[in-house]
Structure 1
Amino acid sequence: MRLKFFVALLLAPSLLGAQPTPKATPKAAAKTAAFDARQRPRNLTDEQLLDQVQRQTFRYFWDFGHPVSGMARERSNKSYDYGDEVVTTGGTGFGLMAIIVAAERGWITRAQAAARVSKIVNFLWKADQYHGAFPHWYDGATGHTIRFSPKDDGADIVETSFMYEGLLCARQYFTKDTPDESNVRNKVLWMWEGVEWNWFTQNQNVLYWHWSPNNGWSMNHQLHGWNEALVTYVLAAGSPRYAIDKAVYDQGWATGPDYLNGKTYYGQTLPLGPELGGPLFFSHYSFLGINPHGLKDAHADYWAQNQRHTLINRAYCVANPKHYKGYGPNAWGLTASDSYQGYAAHSPTEDLGVISPTAALSAMPYAPAESMLALKHFYNDLGDKIWGPYGFVDAYSEEHNWYAKSYLAIDQGPIVAMIENHRTGLLWKLFMSAPEVQRGLTKLGFESPELKPAGK
């Protein structure tokens, strides 16, 4: 649900259009009805509030995981016309990170976490794959592909990379000699080694996002930066058997009209990205695992990139040039999410008056004081309208008196993971310790304090 979503809309405008938010499934509705408002305690310290938000948001992946596969459901309401069985690949990758956080913080036991992750890995082991890559959506009961759009019914290497962000973190975390933990490590390694990243170049110096057994390369979506998919190139470069060359990164990713920027907005000079930075998920999804602290290459300092992107997005909301109700220093954050007129990639250049809580909350590492202001406002002032059984709902608009009833895996996962990275760096430590990540970053010319010298 991101950039490719809007490509899909061009091909199949009836998929979304301006339809209202779909009705909740019976299961989701029952959970919502059973939710006790007393689960929003007041007068919390900052640390208690972070605990409360992380733990409640984690419930999306734990309580609402698919009963057969354990995978994360795409959303808490019906996924348009696809029914209740839709599970998401990338959202599950982020959910795996949330499960690790929950185990580390003691909300569940390590054994419970390992059993759930093992269940997910066993499902993926038998599910449809395409040259080792996963599709965007699965049927959570059967493991068969559910098409994302008319021609998107096969491999999706960006969703695959988000899944492996979570799977590699899990492999690095579950190191004990128990049946579940050993199963996780072994099957993740075997599946990971089978992803044919270089096949997705079509012998060109660029990665192609999709391939379908029915439609081949007809979507023809080359993966150029700057967007959410840096981790895709890093993992492709670090593959032990099917690695891409550095030229694929240099001539494929690091090109295009929305790559280099260099302009100054609201006093912040932005190294990369489209006008005014684009939606904030650009600074979240790849960086749930990749630690941007001290990360540099020939094109950017990635801590500066993500921090400035965040501050530009917030400054735009504070300036509020469209004079929307409810925007301000403690109410900011534009990113892709549901809206009152369907799904949209909210950003300063596509501002519909909709605030997405995941935007500010997942920016906690980059702007902790500003993000905490937003968190307190969302929780203390708007909680009666936007807080529920799985944390904050996907989005809201005071301007339009609209408050989503939905939760999306791809938005809930980064809240848990990025708050944890802010607090302890847990997921950064796990992901950056993986040898394939070290190899990929080094091969592509990155510098980082976490990169070990060759041979160490």
Structure 2
Amino acid sequence: MRSIISISVVSLLALVSCKSNQQPISNKTELKTEILSDNQLMDKVQSDALKYFWDFAEPHSLLGRERYHEDNIYPDNDKDVTTTGGSGFGLMTILVGVDRKFIPRQEAVKRLTHIADFLEKADRFHGAWSHWINGETGKVVPFGKKDNGGDLVETAFLTQGIICVREYFKNGNDEEKVLAAKMDKLWKGVEWNWYTKGGEKVLYWHWSPNYGWEMNFPLQGYNECLITYVLAAASPDHSIDYDTYNKGWTRNGTYTTDRTKYGLPLYVKHNYAEEFGGPLFWSQYSYLGLDPRGLSDKYVKSYWDLNRNQVLIDYKYCVENPLKFNGYSEKYWGLTAGYTRNKDGTTGYAAHQPMKEDLGVIVPTAALSSMPYTPKESMDFLRFLYQEKPDFIGKAGPYDATSIHYDNWFTPRYLAIDQGTIAPMIENYRSGLLWDLFMSAPEVRSGLKKIGFKSEKHKID
């Protein structure tokens, strides 16, 4: 297998592959001291993030692991756990790798075909996959006691990637057309409208074969779940209607707000985070494929401005630094969900966000995956990270969580859901690749039209 040619400004550890027959993307240790161009830096971080889903994939399913620990703190009951949503982001990351020629196209087609075959046989619940899947058996791994069935939001994140793969390969050679057909069948098998709990005008996040609807989590805006409604409206055979979007997601339009922060309109009431707009993954997860440029509906006149303002508010908050954490600056910023440093120095997890849960920890994916919205600010962060904080970078790119405040603390660990947004969102900034693929799907355009969306960049049927 051809390897990625790494571009590095620091001495990096040699890669170690999973226990499988997979070859690592790159296993060279290099030392280069020259200043890299912006394009070289973006190549570097994209190819690094790709390693998470290429070198460190679960070896049986080839899906993305839920987590990967370089510090070898890796409980036996986690080693086979794959993540549905993170794997969807991983599919899009692999497409970036193919398009940038980081990995051979034919190798990617073989791997993606293997993944499609695994997903076809894995546990599904009225078409939806579970949050976690055992990579060896395809059986559900409970995310919680009652969360042992279908997870519609994680399924939506996976489906976003599945559709992009279909669109990328559908006009290719015979093997690629077979892959596209497999992906087409997978996404069309999701029974989105069944997750209205018997016809209620709202989608529900979970259903369990043991506990039914007991988790009782309706999807109401605004948070990271918009893509679920878009795909549910787009489904050819299991579609929702406009009222389900309007009454469910927008709460009959009552989710809008006139609130501003730092002079920037928020436009919508971010759930439980109305002052600052919440963790930055809300501006990313639904928008790896869904193109916010020129996108609008009855209530939000510019999804681009909505997302860009949320990122800018996060950036301005970190620069203002009201809690006085050392290190926060114009080049070191970004709050989103990820690992964190507990008070006793151990590693935990937190939904990092301005003021409400600002713990002095910067999660690199926050700024890096905001590249389309804040290219200068995100590039400043990227350059700072690779040129001034090499300890914050590991085998698959920037570690999940870092802190200058706590004596340059970092956790040598990765999460698929965080690492998986980096390459796609940077690529959307560079070329619009994933946005163009997803928005080219005829069902997506029809679904957007059904629930009242308009796009200045893409023709909505």
Q: TM-score, normalised by structure 1?
A: 0.89
The within-5 A match list for 1:416-431 is 416-431=423-438
- Residue 265 of structure 2 corresponds to 269
Bigger helix fraction: 1
Deviations 1:358-389 (A, max 9, x none): 00000000010111111111111111x11111
User: Structure 1 residue 52 and structure 2 residue 44: aligned?
Assistant: yes
Task: Output the CA distance in 2 between the equivalents of 1:361 and 1:116.
Answer: 26
1:320-368 deviations in whole A, cap 9, x for unaligned? 0000011011110000000012111000021001100000000000010
Could you say which residue in structure 2 is the equivalent of 1:414? 421
The answer to whether the aligner puts 1:376 opposite 2:389 as a matched pair is: no
Structure 1 residues 36-115: aligned runs within 5 Å: 38=30, 42-77=34-69, 82-115=77-110
Give the count of matched residue pairs: 427
Once the two structures are TM-superposed, the CA of residue 259 in structure 1 deviates from its matched residue by 3.3
Match in the other structure for 1:20 = none
The residue number in structure 2 matching 1:188 is 183
Q: Which residue of 2 aligns with 1:343?
A: 349
Q: Distance in 2 between matches of 1:83 and 1:352?
A: 27
Q: Secondary structure at the match of 1:87?
A: strand
Residue in 2 aligned with 1:134? 129
The amino acid across from 1:418 in the alignment is M
Q: Match for 1:422: what amino acid? A: Y
Q: State the superposition RMSD in angstroms.
A: 2.2
Q: Is the 8 A contact 1:35 1:389 kept in 2?
A: no
Map of 1:8 onto structure 2: none
Unpaired runs of at least 5, structure 1: 1-23
Deviation of 1:110 (Å): 1.2
Distance 1:353 1:361 in 2: 18
Q: CA, structure 1 residues 36+266, in 2 after alignment: closer, same or farther (shift >3 Å)?
A: farther
Secondary structure class of the residue paired with 1:66: coil
Q: Is the 8 A contact 1:72 1:92 kept in 2?
A: yes
Gaps of at least 5 residues in structure 2 are: 1-15, 343-347
Secondary structure of the corresponding residue to residue 329 of structure 2: coil
Give the superposition deviation at 1:262: 2.3
Structure 2 vs 1, CA of residues 395 and 40 (structure 1 numbering), >3 Å: closer, same or farther? farther
Task: Give the CA deviation at 1:450.
Answer: 3.8
- Does the C-alpha gap of structure 1 residues 315 and 453 become closer, same or farther in structure 2, counting only changes over 3 Å? closer
| Structure 2 counterpart of 1:199, from 182, 188, 194 | 194
Preserved contact between residue 19 and residue 59 of structure 2 (Cα < 8 Å): no
SS at 2:116's partner residue? helix
Question: Tell me, what secondary structure is at the counterpart of 1:399?
Answer: coil
1:153 counterpart residue number: 148
CA distance in 1, matches of 2:126, 2:49: 34
Give the residue type in structure 2 aligned to 1:417: P
The residue number in structure 2 matching 1:4 is none
Q: Distance in 2 between matches of 1:240 and 1:214?
A: 29
The corresponding residue for 1:284 is: 284
1:362 is the counterpart of 2:369: yes
- Counterpart of 2:231 in structure 1 is 235
CA contact (8 A) 1:42 1:380 kept: no
**Which of the residues 218, 221, 228 maps onto 1:225?**
221
Q: Distance in 2 between matches of 1:358 and 1:152?
A: 27
- Deviation of the 1:39 alpha carbon: 6.1
CA displacement at 1:400 relative to structure 2:
2.0
Letter in 2 for 1:87: T
Q: Is the 8 A contact 1:35 1:388 kept in 2?
A: no
Give how far 1:36 is off.
5.9
Residue of 245, 254, 272 corresponding to 1:249: 245
In 2, are the aligned partners of 1:224 and 1:256 still within 8 Å (CA)?
A: no
Residue 208 of structure 1 corresponds to which residue in structure 2? 204
- For the structure 1 residues 427 and 264, does the alpha-carbon distance in structure 2 shift closer, same or farther, using more than 3 Å as the test? same
The answer (yes or no) to whether the contact 1:225–1:256 under 8 Å persists in 2 is no
